[in-house]
Structure 1
Amino acid sequence: MNTTEQRPDLDWPEGYPRTAPSEREPYPGNITLGHREAFESIDEELSRWGALLQRVEFAAPAYVNDSRIPHKSSDPDDPGVVAYFRREDDHADEGYAIACDRWDSLRDNARAIALYARRKRLAERCGVTTADSEFETARLPPGDEDAASSDVIAVEPEPDRDPHEVLGVAEGAPDPVVKGAFRELVKEAHGDQGGSEKWDVGELKQARDELLD
């Protein structure tokens, strides 16, 4: 039984800068998620950000029963991933996208997209900016599909994140605020509380310890 469906080459925006194959490398952070979980995390993080995932693009065969996930044995020459989505309260023709081809595997680029959405959500939580301006960074212009692709945002996440950003607290936040933010995020990350991000607890602990030192 055929469990995959063939995909065309990745539809990356024409003329948009790409990472040269020779410059791609493994993601330097601690990604402990498996292949499927990394792609599922895109939908999870976008949902928490108040967005609806519409489709995920990649240059590899996808599972027939889940077109948003490439087959785990896929190792395409082009590992780029693009997530197209819209806000829950927008019209269907209002589109946004986040793309990443910085890393050398589909899994790492998919996870980078999810982490980018997560950082945007945390920035909004601590009052750094408004939700509208955060979403604007990924807005697609109106028009046909080719035109829409021209403003896709490419993600190049930093390997070492600032501990304030990780916990979503302002610089100079007092210890009780740091500890409270840590407890809240651990509850969200812990599988026993209905979360699915056990891989993230180590990063949260490291950020807490750095800020409390």
Structure 2
Amino acid sequence: MIDWPAEIERTPEGERTRNKNFKASLGSTTIDLSTEMGRLEPDNWRASIGNQHTKSNGLPRHNAKPDDPGFVLRWTKDGEQYAVACDAYDRLRDNVRAVYLWVRETRLRGNRPVRTAESEFAAARLPSADDVAATDQPHEVLDVDPDATESEVRNAFRERAKHSHPDLGGSVAEFKRITGAKEAMIDE
């Protein structure tokens, strides 16, 4: 299952278009993207597609054909989390290529002597766990009563962690969200 960021709206399936501008193959695009991420020098990065036909970093194999053509790229740099995603096209290859081109063009802007108030990747920055936790009540995040016992809170956390832990294919942001909710409810 694709690890789509909650902050990014999906393109309805019927509105995805055929792209005729990208000539590169999926295999060459994933090589280009991997090279580009090396130039960006993130602390870590991972891709996500709609099936398990991927390489160890989550990039699709050259013959991947998931039912969901969406593509997500997440990375961490200097303690900040970033994510970019594309599902505007009806083929995985084109969505991966669009993400690659965005990352490349954005990184290249950082090589110019022009200065702005934000980093060139500010648009891709995800909200911190503190920002996300402030929008939901902890008991709502864990789907327990506001006066749930410590045992009930821990059990609810464990159930959610099975699906949201990054080591199990979940999202870092969601795992931080449920961890923050658990800690708020049991005063850890």
- TM-score surpassing 0.5? yes
Deviations 1:126-156, CA, capped at 9 Å, x for gaps: 344449421211112222622889xxxxxxx
What amino acid sits opposite 1:86 in the alignment? T
Question: 2:30 is matched by which residue type in structure 1?
Answer: F
For 1:206, the equivalent position in structure 2 comes to: none
Distance between the aligned counterparts of 1:148 and 1:111, measured in 2?
A: 30
Tell me the TM-score normalized by structure 2.
Answer: 0.60
Percent sequence identity is 33
Structure 1: gaps (5+ residues): 1-8, 150-213
Task: Please report how far the alpha carbon of residue 15 of structure 1 lies from its aligned counterpart in structure 2 after TM superposition.
Answer: 7.0
| Matched residue, 1:70 | 60
Structure 2 residue identity aligned to 1:35: L
**Unpaired segments ≥5 residues, structure 2:** 130-171, 178-188
Inter-partner Cα distance in structure 1 for 2:175 and 2:115: 28
Contact 1:80-1:101 within 8 A present in 2 as well: yes
Does residue 1:97 correspond to 2:90, yes or no? no
Residue matched to 1:163: none
1:51-90 matches, within 5 Å, as 51-63=42-54, 66-87=56-77, 90=78
- Distance (whole Å) between structure 1 residues aligned to residue 174 and residue 64 of structure 2: 26
Q: Which amino acid aligns with 1:62?
A: H
Helix, strand or coil at the partner of 2:120: helix
Q: Which has the larger radius of gyration?
A: 2
Partner residue, 1:42: 33
Give the alignment's TM-score, normalised by structure 1: 0.54
Match of 2:20 among 1, 17, 28: 28
Give 2:119's aligned residue. Answer: 133
The answer to whether the 8 Å contact 2:69/2:95 transfers is yes
Distance 1:36 1:72 in 2: 4
The equivalent residue for 2:182 is none
Q: Note closer, same or farther for the CA distance 1:124–1:69 as it changes in structure 2 (3 Å cut).
A: closer
Preserved CA contact (<8 Å) 2:48 2:59:
no
1:114 corresponds in structure 2 to 100
**Shift, 1:67, TM fit:** 4.3
In 2, distance between residues paired with 1:129 and 1:102?
A: 31
One-letter amino acid of the structure 2 residue matched with residue 133 of structure 1: S
CA distance 1:147–1:141, shift in 2 (3 Å): farther
Aligned-partner residue type, residue 23 of structure 2 = T
Q: How many residues align?
A: 135
Deviation at 1:113, TM superposition (A): 0.6
Query: C-alpha separation between the residues in 2 aligned to 1:130 and 1:148?
Result: 30
**Does 1:18 find its partner at 2:10?**
yes
What corresponds to 1:200 in structure 2? Answer: none
1:27 aligned partner, one-letter code: N
